[in-house]
Structure 1
Amino acid sequence: MKLLSIFALFVSLIYAVQGQPYRGTVRLVRSGSFSSSYTAGIVQIYYGSNSSSNSWGNICFDSSFGSTEANVICNQLGYNGASTYGSAGSTTSYGTDTAATALNDVNCANSNYLTLQQCNLSTVIKPSCISDNEDLYVSCQTTRIWDSPDFSGQIRLQGGTYSSYGRLEVYCNGEWGTVCADSFGPTGARTACRQLGYSDYSTYNTNVPGSSSQHTWFENLACNSSSNCLGTCESCPTTQISFCGTGSRDVALGCEFDSSYATSNNTPSTCEYAGSRRPDRGTVRLFRNGVFSSSYSAGIVEIYYAGSSYRSYWGNICDDSSFGYSEANVICHQLGYNGVSTYGRAGSTTSYGTDTTSTTVDDVDCASSSYLTLEQCTLSIIIKSSCISNSEDAYVSCYTTRIWNNPYPGQIRLQGGTYSSYGRLEVYCNGQWGTVCDDSFGSADARAACRQLGYSDYSTYTGNLAGSSSQPIWLDNVICSSSSYSCLATCESCPATQYHNCGHSQDVALGCEFDSTYTTSSNSLSTCQYADPSSSGFGVPLSGALILARNGVYSSSFTSGRVVVYGIGSSTSSSLFWGNVCRRTSFSLNAAHVICHQLTFSGASTWSYSGIDSNLFGVDTNRTLLDDVSCSNSRYLTLFQCTVSTFISSLCTDADDISVTCYTTRIWSSPYTGQLRLTGGNYTNEGLIEVYCNGAWGTVCDNTFSATAARIVCRQLGYNSYYRYNTLPIVGDTPQSIWYNSLSCSSTYSCLSSCQSCPSSSSTTCVHAEDVTIVCYSSSTSSSTTVTTSTCQTTSSSDSDGLSGGAIAGIVIGVIVFIGLVMFFSGSAQKKKKERQRAALAAAAAQATVELTNAQVVPTPNPLTHQPAPEPPPTTNQEPPPSYAGAAAVTQEVKEYNDEKSPYPPPGPNPEPSAPSFAPPPPFAPYPPTNTGYPPDPAYPPTGGYYPPNPYPTPYPTVSGYPPATYPAAPPPDTRPDPPPYNEAPYPPAPY
């Protein structure tokens, strides 16, 4: 009997716990009775003005209440939203509830919220809400919010009296299971409640055991205080937990509203990816106000790390004296971004809230800002006392362009994962991203791929992240013969076409991690550019390369856009980067012509700068690379033949970046014998060498081609020298002639035609597999070549520079004879009339002689041959372009415009294309001293002026056919070596 009494007491205690409401609990009543099975009724909430005055009360159906609020109430009850709602006085279905009104002015910003705690509400009751007729009722959908689980790691509470308490269940491997109470503590309980939309837990115990047939999925949860999803603490295992203590050890959980903790912003889908798999050791992510998103490009940095690989956890990085630009840049690289815009201490900004996670890593020091992960840097897990405060946590704001936006053949990336360390392995081949088949893919291959990405090792190389059906599968049967390889292209080259027997269900998914048992990778972004012998540097920009950009998109098909130049330094320097050209001091139409020549166009119609054309081309946030650009000869072929400076004026900002509009005709559209061009490359400084002979473009055979010849080719094209030749996978078309096969060159030559004249017929001893390809570059800002558009014409210099003296004399004699004939046939008219006629004709002859004589000094050549004046576009009803000799007025206008005497640049003499129909942009608003360079979403607006996205279509044309279309790209990562202190924007802040 005594045992029965004890059992009854035990049961009553269990019921008391199960039946206990917690602050914020909601329920539905009908005619004064409650049942957990009700889907419709008058809403009651267990609430009060403070945590000690809770009681059951009603919610007022006032003007702020609508479908959004009704949906949230049904979500909190565990249903899939509301079907109807209204005031109790408008229906007799639920009777009258005499409880006092507890809440009014309920207002929810999102109908997907999970609890009313996520909404605004008031306990100060308006007089209009006192009547029981104003009590709120709802009728919910009968389907449960968990009836069709959306993702692995979804959780629910089961078996309790109210929706705020019950057995904690998690969905894994297609089945609902329980959580073992072993090591389950306050942070795990709080994390689970926050996933459900509450701010805190009220209790956790083992009083609601699950079915004996249920699996137990989780045990030993390791959560931190900022976690909002249980899946960030533990990933779904492949098999159930085999042992969880003795007796019932299933966790039961009660959740409540607690104003002392930050409100959760979770919705049903917030934690969708959190439980997909455990983060890999060394994974980094960004947090804002306690929320993580893989789309963030700015926030407080967290790293999944610990002293050993056994039990890593999320923690912060201290922004101490060793943390600077290089370290912030590497973090952005690891996150997949192009580099860092700003960085600093969390305590110096309110943009990202406070992250209460403990500090995990200190004394981060990166020897190179080009590194790809923090594993390549030195760091410490011994935390200094000065780093304990949350205000010392490091934050970064990364540029929004991705590190792979300007890819090279053989570059790889991970896509589709929750974190940057895991995803579908994709490789860039033949101008397109594709996948890797898992046939024969093993540990050595996985390790090589991870090392290419800057990690030391892999964690997994299987997964279910299938690529799109439209994606090619580039690599199959990858076999790396050594675990020490650091580039996947060393094991398998890009194929010319797809060739495999795989489907996308076999796509490799790869996880990479820090592993101290393996040698750290020293890779940077450019390390593997030349690893693929089949590509050997194809598509790699070298010092002096140019390209045009529009709104962050780089393409060699653009004829107009923001000018971006690559490098200054040796061809292999890891410190080269893309940069802009400043308009200040001396930039003129001459320089614009030269830029267009280097881009292989016949000249420039006009030029402008970012401060007034950002609505057309956007703002390029690269650093300024060149200033004081002055071209003494508008016929030069490359920008580094001009005078430029790398010492940038303090007046140069992103608003001063130069843009040009080039004519669409190519510089070789009416070629001369012996003219050269490069075709088939991704940039204009590389490609297949073609020479114009006998009225057709043909190739050059490599039989007699040498380093001397390579240097001459690049000189003729306006570059200092060559980088490589015979390394690009490009050959001429079968019908093309092979013109040069007997080159005999001297190192003093500047024209390849000096090595061999055009033959009468194509070579018969060579095939196109022997065609020469080349990559040219200019290693300094003082090019040693003075070659122009007309230097290498194969005719004599007198023919090149104007009419010969004999020709001029002949013409003069002809004119005099013509005058004599006119005088002869004029008869014997009146003497005065004859004298006037003789005088007029003699004056005309003298003027003709002067003009023809002057032609030796200022020739008027064929504009399609050497382009002394830019070729106008094929338009009608336009003035012809001025000659170069007549361009002084235009140059003066540009100079005045540069001196800011005019708010807009002078229109080109023959503008191409026509001006857009919309109004000019507003005046340039300078950036503030600091700016986050961010955000990607409107919830975190920038702190100062920035350029909005262009709402109008870009009216400029593009050309096709040469160079081959490339995938639009953004610049490679910035590697600027001398950053300012952390609390300053290191470079002009990003506009995003």
Structure 2
Amino acid sequence: MSDAAVVCRELGCGEAVDALGKSHFGSGSGPIWMDDVDCSGSESRLKNCRSPVWGKHDCNETHNSGVICSGARLVLGCRCSGRVEVLHGESWATVCDADFNQQDAEVVCRELGCGSPVKVLGAAAFGRGEGQVWSEVLQCRGNKSQTHFCPKSSSLKHNCSHDNDVGLVCAGVLLVNGSRCSGRVEVLHGESWFTVCDADFNQQDAEVVCRELGCGSPVEILGAAAFGRGEGPVWSEELQCRGNESQIHFCPKSSLLKHNCSHDNDVGLVCSGSVRLVDGDSRCAGRVEVLYRGQWGSVCGNNWDMRDAAVVCRELGCGEAVDTYHESYFGSASGPIWMDNVHCSGSESTLRNCESAGWGKHNCDHSKDAGVICSGVRVVGGSHCSGRVEVLHGESWVTVCDADFNQQDAEVVCRELGCGSPVEVLGAAAFGRGEGQVWSEELQCRGDESEITLCPITSSHKYNCSHGNDVGLVCSGTV
């Protein structure tokens, strides 16, 4: 990525998004001029980076390098905050605050490797740009990897100047391998994401992380790689947050580490989030409640459907939406009704990003409180209806041993996911090796259960399984 950063800078193409080898973009046919390139990342040109003499290499065309640069950048802040500028032809153009929304912000932060959006700021909060104001409207749905792939409209509704340049603050911290508001803590430092040692992370640090991500307050700090072991570096500094900082970036740090940590000590965090399910049988089923201005309130069931439920289940890290309810199936709330006439496309990362009548605006009462049942199982690494089987166990997703999974278990998983019936059960990590725990219990489904959580379970394991034994499943459905 240090080498790629120099290429993107030299071309005026923003930040490096990915560095690709093995001729990802096809093989060249001419000479190979450079090999073993070693850039610090600060060079102005690739030719200035260290490498052997021109034309000397131990390589062939199957190892040609490639780069993906971003078409967006953030200016006058830090790497993950600033004025939004989009590459338009050969020039960088600013974006009008009236033409930029939360879905656009999701894509920009993701494209820059900067986590999730924290705040969209108008009125040139990061200063007035100098070039063009972009003459198109971004119409991102929030699930794109780059702004380049977002639909655009040339029918501008607003007459904007640089006084309207939009700014964006993305999070410098991520929660990985859980949900949007729970997971392994990773902090952005330079160009890389670092895990944090459980012995160097406390309640004050957790307060800041949850606040920065818009995830309420800390519920639980988990050590010993509860959300799986990370793959990158372990951070070599100790966070010393006071707890009132708005971003982890502003916390004091100490390089006097007391502990020698590995990825076995990666810290995990569960925040309260901005959505929850209450009065159900598990944290993945119940009445939908959202956090607004520090108070939990319900969601009206008017027009509540499976696309809305899908966003809630994804935000909570609870797999797929199984069923929706809109007549207080899980009991009536007693607090405010915060949302009504919710209309999600289904691709939003949070329920708050979906269209609605406006906070607190409703034509409803608590007899119509919305509810959701999410599945406690998912398939990963394939399609919606095929992949590695993972089961929700407490706050974590765990893989299942191929020797402990049979046709009856497969019937239940496919049914719960709305994916028809099983076509094939595959062992030996056919859909890749998982990263977290391997489940220490054995499913004993009869095959007629509606959900995996209703299947009997035994803890008397006959097999000693690793991720090389992760089971995969192909169901008949394709939706």
Return the TM-score normalized by structure 1. 0.20
Whichever structure has more strand as a proportion of its residues is: 2
Larger radius of gyration: 1
